[in-house]
Amino acid sequence: MKDHLIVFDTTLRDGEQSPGAAMTKEEKIRVARQLEKLRVDVIEAGFPASSPGDFEAVRAIAGMIKDSTVCALTRTSDLDVQKAGEAIRPAARGRIHVFIAASPIHMEMKLRMRPEEVLEAAVRAVSLAKQYTDDVEFSPEDAGRSEFDFLCRISEAVIKAGATTVNIPDTVGYNLPEVWGALFRRLRETVPNADKAVWSTHCHNDLGLAVANSLAAVAHGARQVECTINGIGERAGNASLEEIVMAIRTRADLMPVETRIDIAHIVPTSKLVSQITGYPVQPNKAIVGANAFAHESGIHQDGVLKHRETYEIMLAQDVGWHNNRLTLGKLSGRNAFKTRLIELGIVMPSEEALNAAFIRFKELADKKRDIYDEDLQAIVGDDAQGPAPEYYKLVSMTVHSETGETPQARITVSTDGRERKAEAVGSGPVDASFKAIERIVESGSELLLYSVNAITTGTDAQGEVTVRLGKDGRVVNGQGADTDIIVASAKAYLNAVNKLAHGPTRVNPQYDTV
C-alpha cells in the first residue's frame, strides 16, 4: 500500500500572484470548479484579508466546492485570521493557512521582529485559527533560507498549538534537490512531535528546480505538495501540478506515494487557466505544451509508428489531449449541444446565454470541420458565468494588408443600438484594428499584453486571443476566438473594453497589503 500524497493547488492564490494574472471572482469560481473535477485535495482559494474582492471569492468558492478542501491564506494578525475564518465558514471542509517569515533576512529586514516574537505570533495565530476549523496549516515563509534550529522550534510550537500541516516553503527557489530532501528528513527526525502533522513542500522555480525539489521532499517524507496549474506564480512560478502528478504516476516504480488526481482533466484545466490568466503555455512545456507529444524527426516518427513506446512514456489521451472530439457537427441540434456542455461540466446561467453560445457554435461548425471540446470552451468563454456586458459589439470589419503598403482597418461597432464606424492605419493589421476600435470606444487604456494561441491543431483552428488592458490601476483580460485571428483580436479587444467599462473588477494581487 502506498501513502496518499495530498495535492494542494495554489493556482488561485500563489499562481494569481503572477504579474497581471489576478482573476475576477467569477474567473476564480470557474477555475475552482475545474480543480474540483481534477480532484485536487485542497484548493487554496485566496488571501481574504488582501482585498474585499478576494474575501468574497474565497467565500463563494467555499460555499460551492464539495469534493476538495477549501483553504484561505492569512498572516498572523488577529484581524487577518478572523477574515480567513469567516471566508471559509460555508465550506464543507475548510482550512486556514497561517504564514509568517522565519529566515533571518526576512525577520530582520522585512518584519523587524525578533525570532521569539515571530514564534509567539505564529503560535497565537494558529491557536486563533483553531477556533474556526480543526484543519490548520502553518508555513514558515522563506524556510529555504532559515536556520535549521529555528525551523525545528517553530514547527514544534505550532504543532503543539494545533497545526495539522507544516508546510516548508522554498519561497525564493534557492534550494537544490538533495539539500531539500535532506531538510525534510532532518526535520522529521528532529522535531519531537513531527509525527503529529503532515509535512508539506512548497517550491518556487527560480532555478528551474521546483518540481525536482518537490519530488525530493516527497522521497524524504513530505506527504503534501503545493503546486499550481502550468506552474504559474510569482517570478519564475511554482512547482507545476501536472509535472509532479505525472512524474509520480509514470515512475510509480520509484515513488512511495500516489495521488487521486483525475489526469484526464489535466489538459482542459491547463487550457482554462491559460485562457483566464492570459498566460500562454510554452509549446515545449512538459505534459501540457502543444509539442509535449509531437514527434518531429523522421527517426522518432518512424519509431512511434512501429511501436509507440519507443519514444513515448505517457499517453497523450490519458492527460486529456484530444480524446474529447465532439461528435456534434453542422447539423446537430440545440439539445445535443446543451447535453455536451453538461457533460463537460459547463453550466450556462440562462437560456439566453445558451442560445448565444449555440449560435456561435453553428457559425464555427460552418467554418471548421472538426470541433473539439477546447473549441467549445472557447465558444462558451465568459458566458458560462453570465455574459460580460456587451456595450460595444463588433458588427463588421475590413482589413487591408499588402506587402509594402500600410495596413488599414475599417471597423463597425454597435453601442446602445447605434452603429459607429471608424478607420485607422497601423504598423500591422492588428494594430490598425485596435486603433480603429479605440477611435470609437475612447477607453484611454494601455495595452499590457497581446497573445495568440491556436486552440487546436490545423490551419482551420480557431485562434484564441487574449488582450490585457490597464487603466487607473485596474487590469482586465479580454478573450476572443475565431478562425480569423484578426477578427479574434478585435473581439478580444472589445471584450476587454467592455469589462473595463462595466464588468467585474479584478481582485487585487494579494501582496499589495503585505
Q: What are phi and psi of 137, to 5 degrees?
A: -110, 145
Write down the least CB distance from residue 144 to ligand KIV, Å.
9
Q: What is the spatial distance between Cα 397 and Cα 173, in angstroms, rounded to a whole number?
A: 48
Write down the least CB distance from residue 204 to Zn ion, Å.
6
Binding site for Zn ion (CB under 5 A): 14
Residues 78-117: x where in contact with ligand KIV by CB under 6 A, - otherwise, as a string: ---------------------x------------------
- 139 touches, from Zn ion, ligand KIV, none (C-beta below 5 to 8 Å by class): ligand KIV
- Enumerate residues 6+ apart whose C-beta is below 8 A from 228: 9, 10, 11, 14, 15, 237, 238, 239, 240, 241
Distances (CA, A) of 271 to 29, 245, 265: 15, 17, 10
Asked if 202 touches ligand KIV (CB under 6 A), the answer is: yes
Q: What is the spatial distance between Cα 413 and Cα 196, in angstroms, rounded to a whole number?
A: 63
Nearer to ligand KIV, 167 or 324 (CB): 167
Of 157, 229, 235, 230, give the one whose Cα is nearest residue 196: 157
Write down the least CB distance from residue 63 to Zn ion, Å.
26
Q: Where are the alpha helices (DSSP H) in 278-350?
A: 298-306, 334-343
Residues 120-159 that bind ligand KIV (CB under 6 A): 139, 141
Asked if 46 touches ligand KIV (CB under 6 A), the answer is: no
Amino acid at site 75: R
Counted residue by residue, the chain has a size of: 514
Give me the torsion for CA of 494, 499, 503, 505, rounded to 10°: 180
Write down the least CB distance from residue 202 to ligand KIV, Å.
5
User: By CB under 6 A, which span of 154-162, 165-173, 252-260, 468-476 interacts with ligand KIV?
Assistant: 165-173
- Give the 3-state secondary structure of residue 329: coil
Asked if 14 touches ligand KIV (CB under 6 A), the answer is: yes
Distances (CA, A) of 466 to 97, 188, 490: 33, 46, 10
Write down the least CB distance from residue 475 to Zn ion, Å.
21
| In contact, 83 and 74? CB cutoff 8 Å | yes
| In contact, 287 and 223? CB cutoff 8 Å | no
Nearer to Zn ion, 7 or 500 (CB): 7
Q: What are phi and psi of 143, to 5 degrees?
A: -55, -30
User: By CB under 6 A, which span of 163-171, 243-251, 488-496, 497-505 interacts with ligand KIV?
Assistant: 163-171
User: By CB under 6 A, which span of 164-172, 378-386, 447-455, 456-464 interacts with ligand KIV?
Assistant: 164-172
- Enumerate residues 6+ apart whose C-beta is below 8 A from 80: 48, 49, 74
Nearer to ligand KIV, 167 or 453 (CB): 167
- 141 touches, from Zn ion, ligand KIV, none (C-beta below 5 to 8 Å by class): ligand KIV
Residues 171-190: x where in contact with ligand KIV by CB under 6 A, - otherwise, as a string: x-------------------
Which helix (H) or strand (E) is 431 found in, with range? helix 429-441
Asked if 213 touches ligand KIV (CB under 6 A), the answer is: no
Sole binder of ligand KIV in the list 169, 407, 429, 480 (CB under 6 A): 169
Write down the least CB distance from residue 410 to Zn ion, Å.
48
Binding residues (CB under 6 A) for ligand KIV: these are 14, 99, 139, 141, 167, 169, 171, 202, 204
